[in-house]
A and B are shown apart, each in its own frame.
Chain A
Amino acid sequence: MDVIALAWWQLALAALMVVALAGCTAVARLGMGRSLLIAASRTVIQLALIGLVLEALFASARLYWVALMALAMLLIAGREVMARQRRRLLGGWAFGIGTVAMFLSSFSVTVLTLTLIIGPEPWYRPQYAIPLLGMMLGNTMTGVALAMDRLTDTAWRQRAAIENRLMLGEPWQQAVGDIRREAMRSGLMPMINAMAAAGVVSLPGMMTGQILAGTSPGLAVKYQILIMFTITLGTGFGTLAAVAAGSRRLFDDRQRLRLDRLSRPRG
Protein backbone atom coordinates (compact mmCIF):
# COMPACT_ATOMS: atom_id res chain seq x y z
CA MET A 1 0.00 0.00 0.00
CA ASP A 2 1.73 3.19 -1.04
CA VAL A 3 -1.03 5.60 -0.07
CA ILE A 4 0.00 7.85 2.85
CA ALA A 5 -2.03 7.15 5.98
CA LEU A 6 -4.13 9.98 7.45
CA ALA A 7 -4.43 10.38 11.22
CA TRP A 8 -7.50 11.84 12.89
CA TRP A 9 -5.54 14.86 14.19
CA GLN A 10 -4.60 15.69 10.59
CA LEU A 11 -8.28 15.73 9.68
CA ALA A 12 -8.93 17.92 12.71
CA LEU A 13 -6.62 20.48 11.14
CA ALA A 14 -8.79 20.57 8.02
CA ALA A 15 -11.87 20.76 10.23
CA LEU A 16 -10.39 23.75 12.00
CA MET A 17 -10.11 25.53 8.67
CA VAL A 18 -13.80 24.82 7.97
CA VAL A 19 -14.64 26.35 11.35
CA ALA A 20 -12.56 29.37 10.32
CA LEU A 21 -14.58 29.64 7.12
CA ALA A 22 -17.78 29.45 9.15
CA GLY A 23 -16.44 32.27 11.30
CA CYS A 24 -15.77 34.38 8.21
CA THR A 25 -19.27 33.80 6.81
CA ALA A 26 -20.69 34.77 10.20
CA VAL A 27 -18.71 38.02 10.13
CA ALA A 28 -19.91 38.70 6.58
CA ARG A 29 -23.48 37.95 7.79
CA LEU A 30 -24.20 35.42 5.06
CA GLY A 31 -26.35 33.50 7.52
CA MET A 32 -24.73 30.27 6.44
CA GLY A 33 -22.32 29.56 9.27
CA ARG A 34 -24.75 27.27 11.03
CA SER A 35 -25.75 25.18 8.03
CA LEU A 36 -22.12 24.97 6.96
CA LEU A 37 -21.11 23.51 10.32
CA ILE A 38 -24.09 21.15 10.43
CA ALA A 39 -23.32 19.89 6.92
CA ALA A 40 -19.65 19.42 7.80
CA SER A 41 -20.56 17.44 10.92
CA ARG A 42 -22.98 15.32 8.91
CA THR A 43 -20.17 14.52 6.48
CA VAL A 44 -17.96 13.33 9.32
CA ILE A 45 -20.65 11.26 11.03
CA GLN A 46 -22.16 9.74 7.89
CA LEU A 47 -18.82 8.85 6.32
CA ALA A 48 -17.44 7.46 9.60
CA LEU A 49 -20.49 5.25 9.91
CA ILE A 50 -20.33 4.06 6.33
CA GLY A 51 -16.61 3.39 6.88
CA LEU A 52 -17.47 1.08 9.77
CA VAL A 53 -20.18 -0.64 7.73
CA LEU A 54 -17.84 -1.14 4.78
CA GLU A 55 -15.03 -2.46 7.00
CA ALA A 56 -17.44 -5.05 8.40
CA LEU A 57 -18.83 -5.84 4.97
CA PHE A 58 -15.40 -6.30 3.40
CA ALA A 59 -14.37 -8.56 6.27
CA SER A 60 -17.38 -10.86 5.88
CA ALA A 61 -17.84 -10.63 2.07
CA ARG A 62 -21.02 -12.71 2.11
CA LEU A 63 -23.48 -12.36 -0.74
CA TYR A 64 -26.46 -11.74 1.55
CA TRP A 65 -24.71 -8.91 3.38
CA VAL A 66 -23.78 -7.29 0.07
CA ALA A 67 -27.36 -7.74 -1.13
CA LEU A 68 -28.76 -6.24 2.07
CA MET A 69 -26.47 -3.25 1.73
CA ALA A 70 -27.48 -2.83 -1.90
CA LEU A 71 -31.16 -2.96 -0.95
CA ALA A 72 -30.70 -0.31 1.74
CA MET A 73 -28.91 1.94 -0.75
CA LEU A 74 -31.69 1.43 -3.29
CA LEU A 75 -34.45 2.31 -0.83
CA ILE A 76 -32.69 5.46 0.32
CA ALA A 77 -32.16 6.50 -3.29
CA GLY A 78 -35.85 5.84 -4.00
CA ARG A 79 -36.84 8.05 -1.11
CA GLU A 80 -34.53 10.78 -2.38
CA VAL A 81 -36.01 10.60 -5.90
CA MET A 82 -39.47 11.08 -4.40
CA ALA A 83 -38.40 13.97 -2.19
CA ARG A 84 -36.89 15.87 -5.12
CA GLN A 85 -40.16 16.11 -7.06
CA ARG A 86 -42.33 19.16 -6.60
CA ARG A 87 -45.53 17.46 -7.72
CA ARG A 88 -45.23 13.77 -7.13
CA LEU A 89 -47.54 10.91 -7.99
CA LEU A 90 -49.65 9.99 -4.99
CA GLY A 91 -50.30 6.60 -3.47
CA GLY A 92 -46.68 5.43 -3.35
CA TRP A 93 -46.33 5.62 -7.13
CA ALA A 94 -43.58 8.26 -7.03
CA PHE A 95 -41.48 6.07 -4.75
CA GLY A 96 -42.46 2.86 -6.54
CA ILE A 97 -41.76 3.98 -10.09
CA GLY A 98 -38.46 5.65 -9.14
CA THR A 99 -37.25 2.68 -7.11
CA VAL A 100 -38.24 0.02 -9.62
CA ALA A 101 -36.70 2.00 -12.50
CA MET A 102 -33.45 2.41 -10.58
CA PHE A 103 -33.48 -1.23 -9.55
CA LEU A 104 -33.96 -2.45 -13.11
CA SER A 105 -31.32 -0.23 -14.63
CA SER A 106 -28.66 0.17 -11.91
CA PHE A 107 -28.72 -3.40 -10.67
CA SER A 108 -28.70 -5.07 -14.05
CA VAL A 109 -25.93 -2.82 -15.39
CA THR A 110 -23.87 -3.30 -12.21
CA VAL A 111 -24.25 -7.07 -12.27
CA LEU A 112 -23.40 -7.21 -15.97
CA THR A 113 -20.35 -5.01 -15.46
CA LEU A 114 -19.16 -7.14 -12.56
CA THR A 115 -19.68 -10.51 -14.20
CA LEU A 116 -18.83 -9.78 -17.84
CA ILE A 117 -16.33 -6.91 -17.72
CA ILE A 118 -14.42 -6.56 -14.46
CA GLY A 119 -14.80 -10.14 -13.26
CA PRO A 120 -13.68 -10.06 -9.61
CA GLU A 121 -13.66 -13.36 -7.70
CA PRO A 122 -16.40 -13.87 -6.43
CA TRP A 123 -18.39 -11.50 -8.67
CA TYR A 124 -20.09 -9.79 -5.71
CA ARG A 125 -16.80 -8.94 -4.00
CA PRO A 126 -17.81 -5.86 -1.98
CA GLN A 127 -14.68 -3.81 -2.81
CA TYR A 128 -15.95 -3.70 -6.40
CA ALA A 129 -19.70 -4.19 -6.07
CA ILE A 130 -20.52 -1.55 -3.45
CA PRO A 131 -18.60 1.46 -4.85
CA LEU A 132 -19.76 0.62 -8.36
CA LEU A 133 -23.38 0.37 -7.30
CA GLY A 134 -23.04 3.49 -5.18
CA MET A 135 -21.85 5.56 -8.12
CA MET A 136 -24.53 4.07 -10.35
CA LEU A 137 -27.35 4.76 -7.91
CA GLY A 138 -26.14 8.24 -7.07
CA ASN A 139 -26.21 9.31 -10.69
CA THR A 140 -29.28 7.34 -11.74
CA MET A 141 -31.10 8.93 -8.83
CA THR A 142 -30.29 12.42 -10.11
CA GLY A 143 -31.39 11.55 -13.62
CA VAL A 144 -34.63 9.87 -12.60
CA ALA A 145 -35.53 12.63 -10.15
CA LEU A 146 -34.87 15.39 -12.71
CA ALA A 147 -36.85 13.60 -15.39
CA MET A 148 -39.84 12.77 -13.17
CA ASP A 149 -39.92 16.30 -11.79
CA ARG A 150 -39.88 17.72 -15.28
CA LEU A 151 -42.57 15.29 -16.42
CA THR A 152 -45.09 15.99 -13.67
CA ASP A 153 -44.42 19.71 -13.52
CA THR A 154 -44.73 20.23 -17.28
CA ALA A 155 -47.84 18.06 -17.48
CA TRP A 156 -49.35 20.28 -14.80
CA ARG A 157 -48.46 23.51 -16.58
CA GLN A 158 -49.57 22.27 -19.98
CA ARG A 159 -52.66 20.39 -18.86
CA ALA A 160 -54.95 22.46 -21.08
CA ALA A 161 -52.85 21.69 -24.16
CA ILE A 162 -52.70 17.98 -23.33
CA GLU A 163 -56.47 17.84 -22.90
CA ASN A 164 -57.05 19.75 -26.12
CA ARG A 165 -54.93 17.19 -27.95
CA LEU A 166 -56.98 14.41 -26.38
CA MET A 167 -60.16 16.17 -27.55
CA LEU A 168 -58.84 16.11 -31.10
CA GLY A 169 -58.63 12.33 -30.88
CA GLU A 170 -54.94 11.87 -30.18
CA PRO A 171 -53.95 8.83 -28.10
CA TRP A 172 -52.40 9.71 -24.76
CA GLN A 173 -48.91 8.74 -25.90
CA GLN A 174 -49.10 11.37 -28.62
CA ALA A 175 -50.79 13.99 -26.46
CA VAL A 176 -48.02 13.80 -23.87
CA GLY A 177 -45.26 12.85 -26.35
CA ASP A 178 -43.46 16.19 -26.43
CA ILE A 179 -43.48 16.45 -22.66
CA ARG A 180 -42.26 12.89 -22.30
CA ARG A 181 -39.33 13.48 -24.67
CA GLU A 182 -38.50 16.71 -22.89
CA ALA A 183 -38.46 14.91 -19.53
CA MET A 184 -36.24 12.10 -20.82
CA ARG A 185 -33.84 14.65 -22.26
CA SER A 186 -33.53 16.53 -19.01
CA GLY A 187 -32.72 13.26 -17.22
CA LEU A 188 -29.98 12.33 -19.69
CA MET A 189 -28.43 15.79 -19.99
CA PRO A 190 -26.27 15.79 -16.82
CA MET A 191 -24.47 12.57 -17.84
CA ILE A 192 -23.89 13.75 -21.39
CA ASN A 193 -22.46 17.00 -20.03
CA ALA A 194 -20.29 15.10 -17.53
CA MET A 195 -18.90 12.86 -20.27
CA ALA A 196 -18.22 15.81 -22.55
CA ALA A 197 -16.37 17.70 -19.81
CA ALA A 198 -14.52 14.71 -18.34
CA GLY A 199 -10.78 15.28 -18.15
CA VAL A 200 -10.97 18.70 -19.77
CA VAL A 201 -12.85 20.73 -17.23
CA SER A 202 -12.96 18.33 -14.31
CA LEU A 203 -10.88 15.37 -13.18
CA PRO A 204 -13.44 12.74 -12.20
CA GLY A 205 -13.44 11.92 -8.49
CA MET A 206 -12.97 8.19 -8.79
CA MET A 207 -9.99 8.52 -11.10
CA THR A 208 -8.41 11.09 -8.81
CA GLY A 209 -8.95 8.72 -5.90
CA GLN A 210 -7.33 5.83 -7.67
CA ILE A 211 -4.35 7.91 -8.69
CA LEU A 212 -3.95 9.12 -5.09
CA ALA A 213 -4.08 5.48 -4.01
CA GLY A 214 -1.15 4.70 -6.30
CA THR A 215 -2.85 3.25 -9.38
CA SER A 216 -1.11 4.15 -12.63
CA PRO A 217 -2.99 6.92 -14.46
CA GLY A 218 -3.42 4.67 -17.49
CA LEU A 219 -5.36 2.06 -15.52
CA ALA A 220 -7.28 4.72 -13.56
CA VAL A 221 -8.40 6.24 -16.85
CA LYS A 222 -9.66 2.87 -18.09
CA TYR A 223 -11.69 2.40 -14.93
CA GLN A 224 -13.04 5.92 -15.20
CA ILE A 225 -14.16 5.35 -18.78
CA LEU A 226 -15.85 2.12 -17.76
CA ILE A 227 -17.61 3.85 -14.87
CA MET A 228 -18.76 6.77 -17.01
CA PHE A 229 -20.25 4.37 -19.53
CA THR A 230 -22.00 2.22 -16.97
CA ILE A 231 -23.37 5.27 -15.16
CA THR A 232 -24.67 6.61 -18.46
CA LEU A 233 -26.30 3.27 -19.21
CA GLY A 234 -27.89 3.09 -15.78
CA THR A 235 -29.09 6.68 -15.86
CA GLY A 236 -30.34 6.38 -19.41
CA PHE A 237 -32.35 3.21 -19.04
CA GLY A 238 -33.55 4.20 -15.57
CA THR A 239 -34.78 7.56 -16.87
CA LEU A 240 -36.50 6.04 -19.88
CA ALA A 241 -38.27 3.44 -17.74
CA ALA A 242 -39.33 5.92 -15.08
CA VAL A 243 -40.71 8.46 -17.56
CA ALA A 244 -42.54 5.76 -19.53
CA ALA A 245 -44.19 4.38 -16.39
CA GLY A 246 -44.79 7.81 -14.85
CA SER A 247 -46.45 9.26 -17.94
CA ARG A 248 -48.71 6.21 -18.21
CA ARG A 249 -49.81 6.82 -14.65
CA LEU A 250 -50.88 10.39 -15.54
CA PHE A 251 -53.74 8.89 -17.57
CA ASP A 252 -56.46 6.46 -16.60
CA ASP A 253 -57.83 3.55 -18.63
CA ARG A 254 -60.08 5.92 -20.63
CA GLN A 255 -57.02 8.04 -21.45
CA ARG A 256 -58.16 10.96 -19.31
CA LEU A 257 -55.49 13.24 -17.91
CA ARG A 258 -55.59 12.58 -14.15
CA LEU A 259 -53.70 15.38 -12.46
CA ASP A 260 -55.60 14.58 -9.27
CA ARG A 261 -53.03 11.79 -8.98
CA LEU A 262 -50.33 14.40 -8.31
CA SER A 263 -49.62 15.99 -4.96
CA ARG A 264 -49.77 19.75 -4.48
CA PRO A 265 -46.38 21.33 -4.06
CA ARG A 266 -45.64 22.45 -0.53
CA GLY A 267 -44.93 26.06 0.31
Chain B
Amino acid sequence: MSTIDALSLERLAVGELADASLTIHAGEVHCLSGPSGSGKSRLLRAVADLEPHGGQVWLGDIAQSSLPAHAWRAKVMLVPAESQWWAERVGEHMPRPSDTDLEALGFTPEVLDWQVARLSSGEKQRLALLRAISREPAALLLDEPTANLDDATTRRIETWLSQRIRERGWPVIWVAHNPDQIARVAQRHWRIAGSELIEVAAWM
Protein backbone atom coordinates (compact mmCIF):
# COMPACT_ATOMS: atom_id res chain seq x y z
CA MET B 1 0.00 0.00 0.00
CA SER B 2 1.45 3.32 -1.00
CA THR B 3 1.22 6.36 1.25
CA ILE B 4 -1.99 8.26 0.76
CA ASP B 5 -1.61 11.84 -0.35
CA ALA B 6 -3.96 14.70 -1.08
CA LEU B 7 -4.18 16.26 -4.52
CA SER B 8 -4.01 20.06 -4.49
CA LEU B 9 -4.56 22.54 -7.28
CA GLU B 10 -2.83 25.82 -6.55
CA ARG B 11 -3.92 28.81 -8.65
CA LEU B 12 -4.25 26.62 -11.73
CA ALA B 13 -4.92 28.60 -14.91
CA VAL B 14 -5.89 26.98 -18.18
CA GLY B 15 -8.01 28.46 -20.97
CA GLU B 16 -10.80 30.59 -19.51
CA LEU B 17 -10.23 29.27 -16.03
CA ALA B 18 -8.00 31.75 -14.26
CA ASP B 19 -7.40 30.76 -10.69
CA ALA B 20 -8.58 27.32 -9.63
CA SER B 21 -7.49 26.28 -6.16
CA LEU B 22 -8.79 23.26 -4.31
CA THR B 23 -7.56 20.40 -2.19
CA ILE B 24 -8.89 16.87 -2.49
CA HIS B 25 -8.02 14.74 0.50
CA ALA B 26 -7.24 11.07 0.29
CA GLY B 27 -10.30 8.99 -0.54
CA GLU B 28 -12.42 12.04 -1.39
CA VAL B 29 -14.37 12.48 -4.61
CA HIS B 30 -14.89 16.00 -5.91
CA CYS B 31 -17.34 16.26 -8.76
CA LEU B 32 -16.91 18.88 -11.41
CA SER B 33 -19.73 20.09 -13.61
CA GLY B 34 -20.45 22.94 -15.98
CA PRO B 35 -21.85 23.50 -19.44
CA SER B 36 -20.04 21.81 -22.30
CA GLY B 37 -17.16 23.92 -23.53
CA SER B 38 -16.65 25.41 -20.07
CA GLY B 39 -13.27 23.71 -19.77
CA LYS B 40 -13.86 20.68 -17.54
CA SER B 41 -11.82 18.35 -19.72
CA ARG B 42 -9.12 20.96 -20.16
CA LEU B 43 -8.85 21.35 -16.42
CA LEU B 44 -8.35 17.60 -16.04
CA ARG B 45 -5.77 17.65 -18.85
CA ALA B 46 -3.91 20.44 -17.09
CA VAL B 47 -3.89 18.51 -13.82
CA ALA B 48 -2.42 15.55 -15.75
CA ASP B 49 0.04 18.01 -17.35
CA LEU B 50 -1.12 17.27 -20.88
CA GLU B 51 -1.95 20.91 -21.47
CA PRO B 52 0.27 23.96 -20.87
CA HIS B 53 -1.08 25.79 -17.84
CA GLY B 54 -0.28 28.27 -15.10
CA GLY B 55 -0.09 27.49 -11.40
CA GLN B 56 0.98 24.30 -9.70
CA VAL B 57 -0.47 20.92 -8.80
CA TRP B 58 0.67 18.96 -5.77
CA LEU B 59 0.33 15.31 -4.86
CA GLY B 60 1.15 15.38 -1.16
CA ASP B 61 4.42 17.29 -1.14
CA ILE B 62 5.42 16.32 -4.70
CA ALA B 63 5.05 19.18 -7.17
CA GLN B 64 3.90 18.34 -10.69
CA SER B 65 6.86 20.17 -12.22
CA SER B 66 9.38 18.31 -10.04
CA LEU B 67 8.61 14.93 -11.62
CA PRO B 68 9.26 13.82 -15.21
CA ALA B 69 5.92 14.22 -16.97
CA HIS B 70 5.35 10.50 -17.56
CA ALA B 71 6.02 9.69 -13.90
CA TRP B 72 3.50 12.34 -12.85
CA ARG B 73 0.86 10.97 -15.24
CA ALA B 74 1.43 7.44 -13.96
CA LYS B 75 0.53 8.75 -10.49
CA VAL B 76 -2.21 11.24 -11.39
CA MET B 77 -4.05 9.23 -13.98
CA LEU B 78 -6.58 10.70 -16.36
CA VAL B 79 -9.28 8.47 -17.82
CA PRO B 80 -10.68 10.36 -20.83
CA ALA B 81 -14.31 10.32 -21.88
CA GLU B 82 -13.41 8.42 -25.01
CA SER B 83 -10.75 5.78 -24.54
CA GLN B 84 -8.36 4.70 -27.27
CA TRP B 85 -7.17 1.16 -27.93
CA TRP B 86 -4.10 0.72 -30.10
CA ALA B 87 -3.16 -2.95 -29.89
CA GLU B 88 -5.07 -5.90 -31.28
CA ARG B 89 -6.33 -7.45 -28.07
CA VAL B 90 -7.66 -6.03 -24.82
CA GLY B 91 -5.08 -7.77 -22.63
CA GLU B 92 -2.16 -6.09 -24.39
CA HIS B 93 -3.21 -2.74 -22.98
CA MET B 94 -2.88 -3.45 -19.27
CA PRO B 95 -1.19 -5.47 -16.58
CA ARG B 96 -3.37 -8.43 -15.66
CA PRO B 97 -6.29 -7.16 -13.56
CA SER B 98 -7.69 -9.20 -10.69
CA ASP B 99 -10.62 -11.52 -11.35
CA THR B 100 -12.72 -9.73 -8.72
CA ASP B 101 -12.33 -6.43 -10.53
CA LEU B 102 -13.18 -8.07 -13.85
CA GLU B 103 -16.25 -9.64 -12.32
CA ALA B 104 -17.34 -6.42 -10.64
CA LEU B 105 -17.31 -4.76 -14.05
CA GLY B 106 -19.31 -7.60 -15.60
CA PHE B 107 -16.51 -9.39 -17.44
CA THR B 108 -14.94 -12.81 -17.34
CA PRO B 109 -11.15 -13.21 -17.71
CA GLU B 110 -11.70 -14.17 -21.37
CA VAL B 111 -12.25 -10.50 -22.12
CA LEU B 112 -8.48 -10.06 -22.15
CA ASP B 113 -8.35 -12.17 -25.32
CA TRP B 114 -11.09 -10.22 -27.05
CA GLN B 115 -10.33 -8.21 -30.13
CA VAL B 116 -10.53 -4.50 -29.52
CA ALA B 117 -12.60 -4.03 -32.68
CA ARG B 118 -15.37 -6.11 -31.10
CA LEU B 119 -15.86 -3.85 -28.07
CA SER B 120 -18.94 -1.69 -27.71
CA SER B 121 -18.54 1.86 -26.42
CA GLY B 122 -19.87 0.83 -23.00
CA GLU B 123 -17.40 -2.05 -22.79
CA LYS B 124 -14.57 0.24 -23.81
CA GLN B 125 -15.51 2.67 -21.09
CA ARG B 126 -15.55 0.04 -18.37
CA LEU B 127 -12.33 -1.52 -19.59
CA ALA B 128 -10.66 1.91 -19.69
CA LEU B 129 -11.40 2.31 -15.98
CA LEU B 130 -9.99 -1.12 -15.32
CA ARG B 131 -6.93 -0.35 -17.43
CA ALA B 132 -6.25 2.82 -15.49
CA ILE B 133 -6.57 1.34 -12.01
CA SER B 134 -4.60 -1.80 -12.91
CA ARG B 135 -1.60 0.50 -13.35
CA GLU B 136 -1.96 1.46 -9.69
CA PRO B 137 -2.11 5.25 -9.80
CA ALA B 138 -2.10 7.51 -6.73
CA ALA B 139 -4.94 9.78 -7.84
CA LEU B 140 -7.69 9.56 -10.47
CA LEU B 141 -9.14 12.10 -12.88
CA LEU B 142 -12.34 10.72 -14.39
CA ASP B 143 -13.96 12.42 -17.37
CA GLU B 144 -17.61 11.30 -17.45
CA PRO B 145 -16.76 7.70 -16.60
CA THR B 146 -20.33 6.44 -17.03
CA ALA B 147 -21.43 8.44 -20.08
CA ASN B 148 -22.03 5.43 -22.33
CA LEU B 149 -23.57 3.13 -19.74
CA ASP B 150 -27.19 2.23 -18.95
CA ASP B 151 -28.60 3.02 -15.50
CA ALA B 152 -28.06 -0.41 -13.97
CA THR B 153 -24.46 -0.60 -15.15
CA THR B 154 -23.85 2.98 -14.06
CA ARG B 155 -24.92 2.14 -10.51
CA ARG B 156 -22.77 -0.97 -10.52
CA ILE B 157 -19.70 0.96 -11.70
CA GLU B 158 -20.32 3.73 -9.18
CA THR B 159 -20.43 1.24 -6.35
CA TRP B 160 -17.31 -0.53 -7.49
CA LEU B 161 -15.41 2.71 -8.07
CA SER B 162 -16.44 4.25 -4.76
CA GLN B 163 -15.34 1.13 -2.93
CA ARG B 164 -11.95 1.06 -4.67
CA ILE B 165 -11.48 4.79 -4.05
CA ARG B 166 -12.12 4.34 -0.32
CA GLU B 167 -9.86 1.28 -0.14
CA ARG B 168 -6.92 2.79 -1.98
CA GLY B 169 -7.45 6.31 -0.68
CA TRP B 170 -7.24 7.97 -4.07
CA PRO B 171 -8.16 11.63 -4.29
CA VAL B 172 -10.52 11.84 -7.29
CA ILE B 173 -11.82 14.55 -9.60
CA TRP B 174 -14.92 13.23 -11.32
CA VAL B 175 -16.57 15.14 -14.16
CA ALA B 176 -20.31 14.45 -14.10
CA HIS B 177 -23.57 15.99 -15.28
CA ASN B 178 -26.24 13.96 -13.57
CA PRO B 179 -27.18 15.58 -10.19
CA ASP B 180 -28.26 12.23 -8.78
CA GLN B 181 -24.91 10.69 -9.57
CA ILE B 182 -23.11 13.66 -8.06
CA ALA B 183 -25.17 13.29 -4.91
CA ARG B 184 -24.31 9.59 -4.74
CA VAL B 185 -20.56 9.69 -5.29
CA ALA B 186 -19.22 13.13 -4.37
CA GLN B 187 -18.18 14.64 -1.07
CA ARG B 188 -17.91 18.06 -2.70
CA HIS B 189 -19.18 19.51 -5.93
CA TRP B 190 -17.66 22.30 -8.00
CA ARG B 191 -19.01 24.16 -10.98
CA ILE B 192 -17.02 26.02 -13.57
CA ALA B 193 -18.59 29.47 -13.97
CA GLY B 194 -16.63 31.65 -16.37
CA SER B 195 -13.13 31.96 -15.01
CA GLU B 196 -13.89 30.58 -11.56
CA LEU B 197 -14.56 27.36 -9.71
CA ILE B 198 -17.63 27.77 -7.49
CA GLU B 199 -18.60 25.25 -4.86
CA VAL B 200 -22.15 24.00 -5.17
CA ALA B 201 -23.70 23.50 -1.74
CA ALA B 202 -24.86 19.97 -1.05
CA TRP B 203 -28.49 20.94 -0.30
CA MET B 204 -29.05 22.62 -3.64
Contacts and interface: CB of A to CB of B under 8 A. Distances in A.
B37 to A, nearest CB: 19
Given A169-B135, A256-B51, A256-B52, A164 B83 contact: yes
A167 B69 contact: no
A257 B48 CA distance: 13
Contact of A165 (B48, B79, B86): B86
Given A256-B50, A256-B52, A169 B83 contact: no
B132 interface: yes
B49 A167 contact: no
Q: How large is the interface on A (under 10, 10 to 19, 20 to 34, 35 or more residues)?
A: 10 to 19
Interface string A227-267: 00000000000000000000000001011110000000000
Interface string B72-87: 0111011110111110
B70 interface: yes
A172 interface: yes
Contacts of A80: none
Contact of B84 (A160, A170, A254): A160
Given A158-B86, A168-B135, A169-B135, A163 B50 contact: yes
B48 A255 contact: no
Interface string A135-177: 0000000000000000000000010110111111111100000
B135 A167 contact: no
Nearest to A251: B69
Given A169-B135, A178-B86, A256-B52, A164 B80 contact: yes
Contacts of A255: 68-70
A168 to B, nearest CB: 6
Interface in B86-125: 86
Contact of B74 (A164, A169, A252, A256): A169
B71 interface: yes
Ranked 3 nearest A-B pairs via Cβ: A169-B74, A164-B84, A255-B69
Interface of B: 48-52, 68-71, 73-75, 77-80, 82-86, 131-132, 135, 137
